[in-house]
Chains A and B, each alone.
Chain A
Amino acid sequence: MPLVLTEEQSLLRDSARGFINEKAPIAHLRKMRDERDATGFSRDLWKGFAEMGFAGLLVPESFGGSGLGAVEAGIVLEEIGRNLMPSPFLSTAVLAASALVRGGNAEQQAAYLPKIADGSLIATFAVDEGAKHKPLSIAMQAVRAGNGFKLNGAKALVVDGHVADLLIVAARTSGNAGERGGLTLFLVDPKAKGVSVERTVMVDAHNAARITFDNVEVSADAVLGEVDQGGELLDAVLNIGRGAVASEMVGLSEEVFNRTVTYLKERKQFGKLIGEFQALQHRAATLYIDIEISRAATLKALQTLDQDAAKADHAVSVAKAHAGTTATRAVQEGVQMHGGMGMTDQFDIGLFMKRARVCQELFGDDNFHAERLAEARQY
């Protein structure tokens, strides 16, 4: 399959770009942040997203979605990244929808997927517990109790956790931290007794929460997939999330870069445009190259996820690691080349830097993915 977008995919990109540029430019994020908006995103815009077909992008047509794949999800995330749009797209349309499509039984799918597609349900995926992404180290316990399970533990960096109507939670039903076996995914109602949700205001002004589970009782129907066999499903959903976040980083890197190059062509010092200085030209050129390479690696990962998801680990880690390193560099060069203005809150560049930092951590940073690659290659 060629590593370029098809005509349909280009049209999707254009429509996502048009919608987000018009309705959710960066001013939208600033408004949410400055007004300390309780929801952290616009429900009206999310309804609009659903009407455009974006909320149900990964939901099968039989449940009211468009039945598209990771490449299409990545296209939308890239546009979200360009405008730093606060949106439940990642949590709900990508992570939760993928988990339900891959792991849900007929009843679970029928209960939730149509509501995801029509924009009426916000759902999210709760995995991380410690400061760093270590999915195999999940310690949260799910112990059999009566017909169901009792959950105890805590999750962090749960995207949109404080506004979610449904939590998909990874917990340990057997085995020890570090083992792949013994993990199980559960569908949990955040209003259930024993669930407490603390919204965490984050550096990037995007939604996240810490959620604790204190003897939370769930029925056997709440299990998503198979008991003790959730590791594979977890990996599959995480891989889609990683590919999607890599796309968001490509989008934000390119936007920061474009703004920076524009600035190099406008700003004068020493009687010259600063873009005439070779010291800056060469750094801009290497950054352009890094972004193009990240873009290619990310598209490869997304295509692999759609074609042969079981063999996507390598391509996904390459993309997430490369795009993470690139984004980190793009935002730092963006601030540096904007000089003092880049340090001001009034300029948008700093907002990109903050979001890039969060995207790095989401589902494993560049170190995590380089390590995963070394592990897989057995050295």
Chain B
Amino acid sequence: MSDLDQFRSETRAWLEANCPPEMRKPVATDDDVFWGGRNTKFSSEAQKVWFERMRDKGWTVPDWPTQYGGGGLDPAEAKVLREEMAAINARPPLSSFGIWMLGPALLKYGTDAQKAEHLPKITAGLIRWCQGYSEPNAGSDLASLQTRAESDGDDFVITGQKIWTSYANYADWIFCLVRTDPTAKKHDGISFILFDMASKGVSTKPILLISGKSPFCETFFDGVRVPKSHVVGTVNRGWDVAKYLLQHERAMISGMGGRSAGRPLGQVAATTVGSDAQGKLDDPILRGEIARFEVDEAALACAAERAIDLAKAGQGHPAFSSAMKYYGTELNKRRYEILMSAGGIDALEWESPRSKEGARARDWLRTKANSIEGGTSEVMLGIVAKRILDLPGA
């Protein structure tokens, strides 16, 4: 038995013994996701147990170094763990922008002190992070951001406004893009800085969305004082860090809604649409749409797997996450159009126990942001055209 086979059988046994049955069901509501942080609460004992066991194993972030509370797994082992977790539909023990976005950037650009300070608190779920990127006048054209950080001794003093800050009202710390040199060209005067959301001068205001929920906030900085040592990478070179982080963010968003654990979409649809005498969905055109969707979804999963393998082999293209982000988000929107069509009248009830307070409709509306957040589909295609295809003037 190879080392990897050995690792697989041990992992399978460990998961079997340690993953509570409740944690092997598809995520159904917001409460099913554990985000960590100072003010966090577990929604169930099983969620707590699962998180703690995985944390102690280093498997909240399996491929980070053990010195920061990660699992120290190599890429092949990490893949085995993902596969074994998927095989039993195990939920992620911890969801976190620290894991998906900030961590990779800190590992590449952070100082030893910054890594030692922040990474262990991410893996242990102690600090919840949010992302201060977009501004009211800097959306797709992110590099035109205006939040300014003025030098004052050992500190920067930060003033300005961010928008679309996911869960800023729950976050403990923020990683934030600020303008440190207003005279430089727009990409050259930006710095990437970390600070505590409890700092004086920070305030947040949730934005009510079409889904009736408020996953995003407006975030205001009024003379927030932040030590200069909190800049990640070089002052005025924050755009490099920002872009690197965006690659990870786009890979994350691409996978949103995917990995369809649980029943095939066609069977979900059959519960409302009904089936004919042969057991086929009683709407042949919808059935065809679902089959086409599942082809594309399965093919995308192969591409996501290959993207990781290519990166490992040193053959990946840094802009490929934009390609995946485009396809994954358009696909997720398609999934929810299908679900709404399948749900018919039942899916339209906004407030009723029958509809779980309009759960499907709210999720459907939420997916419309997928192709906007983290870079719009149009921006993604522009990046592919320019950086991969090398088309002129793109």
Contact = CB atoms under 8 A, between A and B. Distances in A.
Interface of A: 2-4, 261, 264-265, 272-273, 275-276, 278, 281-282, 284-286, 288-289, 292-297, 299-300, 314-315, 317-319, 321-322, 325, 366-367, 369-371, 373-374, 377-379
Interface of B: 76, 264-267, 269-270, 275, 279-281, 287-288, 290-292, 294-296, 298-300, 302-303, 305-306, 309-310, 312-313, 315, 320, 323, 326-327, 378, 380-382, 384-385, 388-394
B325 to A, nearest CB: 10
Contacts of A378: 264, 266-267, 279
B389 A284 contact: yes
B280 A369 contact: no
Contacts of B306: 3-4, 295-296, 299-300
A265 B390 CA distance: 9
B391 A289 contact: no
Given A261-B391, A265-B392, 13 more contacts: A4-B310, A275-B393, A276-B391, A281-B382, A282-B381, A284-B385, A296-B299, A296-B305, A370-B294, A373-B295, A374-B281, A374-B287, A378-B267
B294 A373 contact: yes
B291 A373 contact: yes
A2 B312 contact: yes
A276 B381 contact: no
B266 A377 contact: yes
Given A2-B312, A297-B298, A285 B303 contact: no
13 contacts: A4-B310, A276-B391, A282-B385, A286-B381, A292-B320, A293-B327, A296-B299, A315-B298, A322-B296, A366-B295, A374-B280, A374-B288, A379-B279
Contact of B294 (A265, A294, A377): A377
Given A288-B323, A293-B302, A379 B270 contact: yes
Contact of A322 (B275, B299, B320, B385): B299
Nearest to A300: B302
Contacts of A371: 288, 291
Nearest to A290: B327
A3 B291 contact: no
Contact of A2 (B291, B313, B392): B313
A172 B384 CA distance: 51
Contact of A281 (B275, B298, B391): B391
Nearest to A286: B381
Contact of B298 (A2, A285, A318, A367): A318
A261 B389 CA distance: 8
Given A3-B302, A289-B384, A379 B295 contact: no
Contacts of A278: 382, 394
Given A284-B389, A285-B385, A289-B326, A297 B303 contact: yes
A374 B291 contact: yes
Given A261-B391, A370-B291, A371-B291, A289 B327 contact: yes
Contact of A276 (B275, B298, B393): B393
Contacts of B392: 265, 273, 275-276
A292 B303 contact: yes
Contacts of A374: 266, 280-281, 287-288, 290-291, 294
A281 B389 CA distance: 9
A80 B214 CA distance: 54
